[in-house]
Amino acid sequence: MRKPITAIILSLIVGMLMLAGCQQEDAAQEEGPVTLKLARFFGDCDDTTKGVTDVSKATTECEVIQILTNKFNAENEGGIVIERLGGAEWGTYYDALNTSFAGGDPPDVAVVHGSNLPDYADRGLLMPLDDLYAEAGIDVSDWTEPAQNAVKYDGVGYGVAFDLHASLDHVNVDIFKEAGLVDANGDPIRPTSPEEFMAQAEKVKETTGAYYFVTDASQFPFSARLLVTLVYQQGSSLISEDGKSANVDTPEARRAVEFMLELFEKGYANPDHNYTAAQEAFLDGNAAIMNNGTWAVDQYNREADFEYRAMDRATIFGSPAVWANSHMWILPKKEDGNYEAGMKFLKFLYDNSFAWTAGTGHLAPRTSVLEGEELKSIPQRNNYAHTADIAMLVPSILNWQAVEDILKEEIEATWLTGKDVGKALEDADRRINEVLQR
């Protein structure tokens, strides 16, 4: 009797295991695809991207990233669906992201600027990725040195670099030609000192009546970014090397602010311009140079009815340097976080670095893309390729956003309300030290 009973028991066990396996399979089928919540800015463009998977059709940052997301959803073999959360403008993005962390329900994947990474990494809110890069097939050694530094905080990698973006000189070549400021090849002559810069500005004003330099001087933090650039070009920085104290009340910063003030006081630039007004002046042909970033290159290349050229920021204080920041992708820590699926999406974005830089104007974070022949065929890219070599990322410190806001407020007060330059720098130094010591 033992053998039949044993056989029956074994059959029952096998049957139960098979039934459990079927139930697990049915449950997996019922669960369906893996859905990851994506938080990003770059704008809304649902009307122009619905169902589109050909990224060559994109004409804006929003369209590039949304079409890439569509393509990943359509083609990945892991049943992963990327679902974008609401909110698209960077001006309100971080408030929404912070709220999601505070509520215990952060997105699965999010984009952040390199300057904001420390604020999240320092609080232990992000998944460290050093052990996941290779597993996902992401070759970190192909990133440029600035990109490798941008994704790290306290020596640990927390992000997948998507680009470097920097300030450029957007140039109306026709105005330079009219003012006689071109070389034998018809290329704009770049000023190499404050004196040459002001001499060119006066020449443009006298011969064409146009502004020499237009910039957002009152809305977004372009003034702070220009200050950062001019101080870097003097071999200095606005924050101490250890990131613990301000270094704003210096001769270098004073020279930079006084240079900017002279532009406004002599009518070479308009201190009342916000972003829209400055851009309109440039696109209407009323300015020789527009101070804006890599993100504007393709727009200006399409819309300008004059000979337009995107160029590296002129070096007027000795050392080539320009303000830069970065976009990167992070994986917030979650109790139910599917980091493997998240890394598959980040690997896809890594693989599509060329599509992002070709469609947005930003600098690729990968050496292989920057040096590849394919990029040279994209309009304007060769004209500012050197920017990748002179880009200086903002300091990797906590609360950089607050620091940048203070710089903007204090230096803009010198031309908007007549505040003394020395007092503005002194106040900026004190206020920033208060922020850094919190």
What is the reported pTM? Answer: 0.89
Mean pLDDT of 372-393: 94
pLDDT at residue 11, as a whole number: 56
Max alpha carbon distance in the chain (Å)? 113
Q: Check whether 128 has a pLDDT greater than 80.
A: yes
- C-alpha 289/C-alpha 301 separation (Å) is 14
- C-alpha 323/C-alpha 95 separation (Å) is 24
If you count DSSP H runs as helices and E runs as strands, how many of each does the chain have, helices first? Answer: 20, 11
Q: Check whether 431 has a pLDDT greater than 90.
A: yes
pLDDT at residue 24, as a whole number: 46
- C-alpha 375/C-alpha 382 separation (Å) is 8
Q: CB–CB of 182/176 below 8 Å?
A: yes
Q: Check whether 220 has a pLDDT greater than 60.
A: yes
**pLDDT one-digit tens code per residue, 170-183:** 999 999 999 999 99
Q: Check whether 124 has a pLDDT greater than 80.
A: yes
**pLDDT one-digit tens code per residue, 230-241:** 999 999 999 999
Q: CB–CB of 313/249 below 8 Å?
A: no
Of 329, 389, 275, residue with least CA distance to 111: 329
Kindly indicate the confidence band of residue 86, based on its pLDDT and cuts at 50, 70 and 90: confident
Mean pLDDT of 295-319: 97
Q: What are phi and psi of 74, to 5 degrees?
A: -80, -30
- C-alpha 126/C-alpha 332 separation (Å) is 4
Kindly indicate the confidence band of residue 4, based on its pLDDT and cuts at 50, 70 and 90: low
Q: Which domains does the chain have, with CATH numbers?
A: 34-165+325-392 (3.40.190.10), 167-323+396-436 (3.40.190.10)
Kindly indicate the confidence band of residue 6, based on its pLDDT and cuts at 50, 70 and 90: low
Kindly indicate the confidence band of residue 28, based on its pLDDT and cuts at 50, 70 and 90: very low
Of 370, 343, 344, 373, residue with least CA distance to 357: 370
